[in-house]
C-alpha cells in the first residue's frame, strides 16, 4: 500500500527531476490531460489516426541519409543524417503537434495555444490547427519575432494570431510564461501545446512519446541498411524534444553514445550562453524540477544563443536525469562553430539545416575524425534552415533583409 502510494506520487518523475510544480488554477486541467493521455495513448483508433497523419500529412518516415561526402571529408566515422528537416513544416516539431492537437480534439477542445522560440513549433501548431479546424494563438518573445519575422508571417498566413511577448527578456522563456498565464485563465476550450519535453507532467513524457518515432525509425532504417546499431547519436538540445526523440529507443543500448549539443553562445565562460547542463544547477521552474541557469537566489538567468530555438534557461527533466546517470553526454557548441557548420553542410552535402540542428553538425565535425571508418554517427537534422538564411547572412556582414 505504502509502496503503491509512493509509485503513484512518482508519476512523471525521472529520478529526482520532473513533477508537477504549477499553480492550482491549472491542476484540474492537468489532471484531465493525464487521464486523457493515458487513455488515448493505448487507444487503437487514436494510434491509427496519428500514424495516418504522420505518414500521409507529415511525410514520415523521414529519410535516413548517408552523408558520404562529409564522411569522406572528415575521414572518420560514417555520418548519417536523420532528415527531420524534410517533414512537413520543416522540423521535428510536427510529430508532437499532430499528437497533441489530435488529443486536444478528443478532449473536445476548440482552441490551441503555444509558445515558440525560433517559430518552428509555432508554425507547426498553426499548421495542424488549420488542418483540424481549431482556433490558434501563438506566444512569441518580441526579440524572437524580429529574429524570425518570416515565421511570424507564416503563422498569420495559416490563420493563427501571434502575440508578441514584451515581458522579461522577450525570448522563449517569456513566451512560455505568457502561454501558461493564458492557459491558466482559459482551460475550458483551450489546450496548451507545449513544444518541448518540458513543463509539468504529463508533458515531458507525452512529448517524448510523440517524438520517439524518430529513434524508432533510425533503429529500423540503420539496421536495414547496415545491420548495425549506431556508435553515437548526436542532436541539439534546447528544451530537448528532438534529442530525446532521437535518443529514446537507444537508451537501453548502452553501447550507443548519446550526445546532446547545447548552445554555448559566445562561450560557456562568458555570460552569453544557454548551456544549461554545463553551467546550470537544480531548480524548480515552468512546472518541473530540472537543471536551470539561475543565480544563487533562484532567479532565472537571461540566456543567449544565436539560435532562437535553443535560447532557453532550462532543459527537460529526462535529460537532467540522463546527464545525472551519465547515460548521455552534453556538450556546448558556440555560435561561431554552429555558423561554420551551417555553411559547411550547405557546401558539402547541399543541405541548408536549421541553425539549431547545426549545433549538432558542429559536434559531428569534431567527433567523426576521432572515430574509425567502420563506426557510425547518426546526427538528427531537426529542422531546415531557410528561416535562418537572412540572419546568417547578416552574421557574415551581408546586407540582406527578410
Partner 1 sequence: MTNISNAFKNKKAFIGFVVACDPNFEKSIDYVKTLADAGTDVIEIGVPFSDPIADGPVIQEAGLRAFKNGVSTKRVFEMVAKIREKTTVPLVLLVYLNNIFKYGYDKFFSACQQLNINGVIIPDLPVEERSEVAVFAKKADCSLIPLVAPTSGNRIKKIVAGTDGFVYAVSSLGVTGARDRITTDLDTMVSNIKRFTDAPIAVGFGIHSPEQAVEIAKTADGVIVGSAIVKIIAQEGTHAEEKLIDYVSNMKKALKQPETNRI
Could you say whether residue 300 binds partner 1 (CB under 8 A)? yes
Judged by CB under 8 A, does residue 75 bind partner 1? no
Query: Is residue 204 left, alpha or beta, with left meaning phi > 0 and alpha meaning psi from -120 to 50?
Result: alpha
What is the per-residue binding string for partner 1 in 159-198, x denoting contact by CB under 8 A? --------xx----xx--x--xx--xxxx-----------
Question: Closer to partner 1 at the Cβ: 27 or 400?
Answer: 27
* Nearest distance from C-beta of residue 27 to partner 1, angstroms: 5
Distances 354 to 90, 273, 345 between C-alpha atoms, Å: 9, 18, 11
CB of 286 to partner 1, least distance (A): 8
Task: Determine which helix (DSSP H) or strand (DSSP E) holds 33, and give its type and residue range.
Answer: helix 24-40
Which residues touch 201 (CB under 8 Å, ≥6 apart)? 11, 12, 13, 18, 19, 20, 30, 34, 288
Of the residues 125, 145, 241, 294, which one makes contact with partner 1 according to CB under 8 A: 294
30 vs 377 by CB, closer to partner 1: 30
Which listed range, 14-22, 71-79, 85-93, 377-385, lies at the site for partner 1 (CB under 8 A)?
A: 14-22
Select from 189, 298, 373, 374 the one that contacts partner 1 (CB under 8 A). 298
Min separation Cβ 214 and partner 1, Å = 30
| Total of residues contacting partner 1 (CB under 8 A) | 37
Question: CA 288, CA 202: separation in Å to the nearest integer?
Answer: 11
Return d(Cα 105, Cα 191) in angstroms, integer: 9
Q: Which is nearer to partner 1, 25 or 68 (CB)?
A: 25
Q: Determine the interface stretch with partner 1 among 56-64, 288-296, 372-380, 384-392 (rule: CB under 8 A).
A: 288-296
Per-state percent for the chain, helix, strand, coil, to nearest 5: 50, 20, 30
Catalytic residues: 93, 115, 382
Whichever of 165 and 345 has its CB closer to partner 1, that residue is: 165
- What H or E segment, with its residue span, contains residue 93? helix 93-106
Stretch that binds partner 1, among 95-103, 131-139, 239-247, 292-300 (CB under 8 A): 292-300
Nearer to partner 1, 217 or 318 (CB): 318
Q: What is the CA radius of gyration of the chain?
A: 20
Residue among 159, 156, 256, 248 at smallest CA distance from 211: 248
Among 133, 224, 254, 297, binds partner 1 (CB under 8 A): 297
The residues pairing with 184 across neighbouring beta strands, listed in sequence order, are none
Task: Return the number of the residue (274 or 364) whose C-beta is nearest partner 1.
Answer: 274
55 is a contact residue toward partner 1 (CB under 8 A) = no
Site for partner 1 in 15-34 (CB under 8 A): 19-25, 27-29, 31
Binding to partner 1 by residue 38, rule CB under 8 A? Answer: no
Give the ranges where 107-237 is alpha helix by DSSP (H).
Answer: 120-132, 142-147, 149-157, 172-185, 203-211, 213-226
Residue 240 forms beta bridges with which residues?
none
List all residues 6 or more positions away from 392 whose beta carbon is below 8 Å from its beta carbon: 339, 342, 343, 355, 385
- Give the separation between CA 174 and CA 178, rounded to whole angstroms: 6
> Closer CB to partner 1, residue 299 or residue 372?
299
Choose, by CB under 8 A, the member of 216, 223, 284, 400 that binds partner 1: 284
Taking the C-alpha atoms of residue 277 and residue 321, their distance in angstroms, rounded to an integer, is: 11
Residues that bind partner 1 in the complex, under the rule CB under 8 A: 9, 19-25, 27-29, 31, 167-168, 173-174, 177, 180-181, 184-187, 281-287, 292, 294, 296-300
Amino acid at each position: 500500500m505504502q509502496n503503491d502510494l509512493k509509485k503513484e506520487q512518482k508519476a512523471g518523475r525521472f529520478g529526482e527531476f520532473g513533477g508537477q510544480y504549477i499553480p492550482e488554477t491549472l491542476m484540474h486541467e492537468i489532471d484531465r490531460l493525464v487521464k486523457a493521455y493515458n487513455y488515448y495513448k493505448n487507444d487503437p483508433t487514436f494510434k491509427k489516426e496519428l500514424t495516418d497523419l504522420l505518414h500521409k500529412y507529415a511525410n514520415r518516415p523521414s529519410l535516413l541519409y548517408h552523408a558520404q561526402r562529409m564522411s569522406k571529408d572528415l575521414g572518420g566515422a560514417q555520418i548519417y543524417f536523420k532528415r527531420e528537416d524534410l517533414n512537413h513544416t520543416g522540423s521535428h516539431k510536427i510529430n508532437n503537434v499532430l499528437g497533441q492537437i489530435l488529443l486536444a480534439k478528443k478532449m473536445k477542445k476548440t482552441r490551441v495555444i503555444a509558445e515558440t522560440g525560433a517559430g518552428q513549433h509555432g508554425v507547426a501548431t498553426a499548421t495542424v490547427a488549420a488542418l483540424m479546424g481549431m482556433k490558434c494563438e501563438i506566444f512569441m518573445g518580441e526579440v524572437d519575432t524580429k529574429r524570425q519575422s518570416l515565421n511570424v508571417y507564416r503563422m498569420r498566413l495559416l490563420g493563427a494570431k501571434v502575440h508578441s511577448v514584451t515581458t522579461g527578456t522577450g525570448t522563449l522563456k517569456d513566451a512560455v510564461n505568457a502561454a501558461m498565464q493564458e492557459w491558466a485563465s482559459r482551460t475550458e476550450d483551450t489546450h496548451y501545446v507545449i513544444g518541448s519535453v518540458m513543463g509539468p507532467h504529463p508533458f515531458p513524457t507525452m512529448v517524448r512519446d510523440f517524438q520517439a518515432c524518430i529513434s524508432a525509425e533510425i533503429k529500423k532504417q540503420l539496421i536495414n541498411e547496415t545491420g548495425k546499431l549506431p556508435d553515437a547519436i548526436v542532436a541539439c538540445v534546447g528544451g530537448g524534444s528532438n534529442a530525446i526523440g532521437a535518443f529514446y529507443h537507444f537508451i537501453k543500448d548502452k553501447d550507443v553514445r548519446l550526445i546532446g549539443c547545447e548552445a554555448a553562445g559566445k562561450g560557456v565562460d562568458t555570460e552569453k550562453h544557454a548551456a544549461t547542463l554545463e553551467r546550470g544547477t537544480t531548480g524548480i521552474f515552468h512546472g518541473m524540477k530540472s537543471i536551470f541557469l539561475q543565480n544563487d537566489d533562484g532567479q532565472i538567468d537571461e540566456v543567449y544563443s544565436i539560435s532562437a530555438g535553443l535560447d532557453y534557461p532550462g532543459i527537460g527533466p529526462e535529460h537532467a536525469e540522463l546527464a545525472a546517470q551519465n547515460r548521455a553526454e552534453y556538450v556546448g557548441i558556440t555560435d561561431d562553430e554552429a555558423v561554420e557548420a551551417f555553411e559547411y553542410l550547405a557546401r558539402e552535402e547541399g543541405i541548408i539545416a536549421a541553425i539549431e540542428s547545426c549545433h549538432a553538425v558542429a559536434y559531428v565535425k569534431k567527433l567523426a575524425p576521432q572515430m574509425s571508418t567502420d563506426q557510425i554517427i547518426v546526427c538528427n537534422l531537426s529542422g531546415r534552415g531557410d528561416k535562418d538564411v537572412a540572419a546568417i547572412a547578416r552574421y557574415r556582414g551581408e546586407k540582406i533583409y527578410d
